[in-house]
Structure 1
Amino acid sequence: MTAKFSDATDQDLEWFDLENYHPLESASLATWSTLIRDRVMLTHAINSSKNPHTSDYEYFRQYCLEQFDKIKKDPLTPLGFTKRILSVESETNTKTVNSISTKRLRFLANSIEIEVDEKTIADLQLQKSENYPLSQYAHVMVNLHASSEDIKRDFAIWLKKYRKMHSTTPSDDHRNKTKIWYKNKVLQCKDLLLFEAITDKRVIWTRIIAMIDVDDQVLSKANQDHNRIKNLRQQIDQIFQDEICDILDNAQN
């Protein structure tokens, strides 16, 4: 089934009001986690509603419309989605050291810029991104052919050096990230994209930028700037993922 898009009218978008998002400026990490998870789960439901091979896909469509009506009335109200258990925890995991999951590995790979020098330390490169939320973690390789004594000794040396290179406290870093997300209006943008996906009424990117940057004179000058749209696309792709919710849930509030 191919969707037939028509352009959204001003009347279609009357529900969108930047004022309704202002409380995000001081929102807690828990609130951000809830709002992101709601959008992630609603996106999954939308995808199901567009698949005629999904059982009860018409039910999914109606469900999505009802959920989005809640966002229209108050974009910061929780939709009631709960955390998904995506994988079984490894029995080797401890409180501070865990085996890396395929989900995390995929997330890391998708977060790294294509142009990056392959000799760069992955975590240090990723931390340069204003959207990267994993700064409280380090991802290392361990040579299991070495003795346990050698591994413990080398890990202690590595940890001491790495902590000196990366001294930001996790809670402060996460709060700095959410402040950037608020400034860049990523939630507002995501909601407009969800509206388009649910209703099949097109909201082109230049119109999205004009709507979310209307109160920012600096950004309004770049409404037609390709880089602004490109960066916002990347932010949306990186932020609205299950992995981000897990990280914010585990961060200190």
Structure 2
Amino acid sequence: MYCTSIFVLLDPASSYHWYTGTLSMLHSLAWFIIACRSDPGTVTAGNVRAHRALYACDGGVWPEKMCSTCKLMRPARSKHCRVCNRCVARHDHHCGWINNCVGLGNHRLFLAFLAATTAMAAYGAALGARTLLAAADRAGVLRHKVYDIHSSRVQLVSMPRAYVTRWLLHVYPLGVACTLFMCAATVLMLLFTAYQLWNVAAGKTQYEVYRWRDLYVQLLDEALQRKQQQEQSAGGGAGKQEGGESKGKGGGSR
């Protein structure tokens, strides 16, 4: 769709984008296939000891735990994926894009796929905008010739952006839609890639972020429960003390 709506508008001087754009798409597709077919780091009976030695359990976020499905002692930072039906070492997340888990074995490949796809989307957005504006310029939509009666000269006057936008939507609706889609994809891919790189720089995975958050909520709930119990016990003790004092006063009055 992008090729039939954008590439066909390229002028002869920009025909090389046929090749560079195709290479960009093939580059992203290659990393996509590699990420789809890669092993995320499946934990098996043959390598579970090595994975457990790589990341030790801490008894807190990563307690000693047996996987009820794989019948293996889970290494720290691992997770059993219900979709893939396997335990994955240093599990990050299950990606629906590649229909595969992202873990110790393929995290670098997944980052390469993200980088290639982000570059392709940015390239497509920039090329689409440039090509559509060039087509509008060739049609004389961007600038009109106007005769200036004061200078007796013909001048080029830029047309309002709203007028150019309406013209593009009317003449090249599919090209505008593809360009806007590539712009949105670029923003989303940049945000997700930045989030992944942030986690890598911090030395943590997406799954670990969720684990730490759940642990924090659990500890906070336990602390609130203890505080409520202490307040209730303190209130009960004060009530008993007041009851004893009132009884003492009653006996004295008699």
- Return the TM-score normalized by structure 1: 0.22
Structure with max Cα Rg: 2
- Return the TM-score normalized by structure 2: 0.22
Determine which structure has the larger helix proportion and give its number. 2
Determine which structure has the larger strand proportion and give its number. 2
Instruction: Report which structure shows greater RCO (CA 8 Å, sep ≥6).
Output: 1
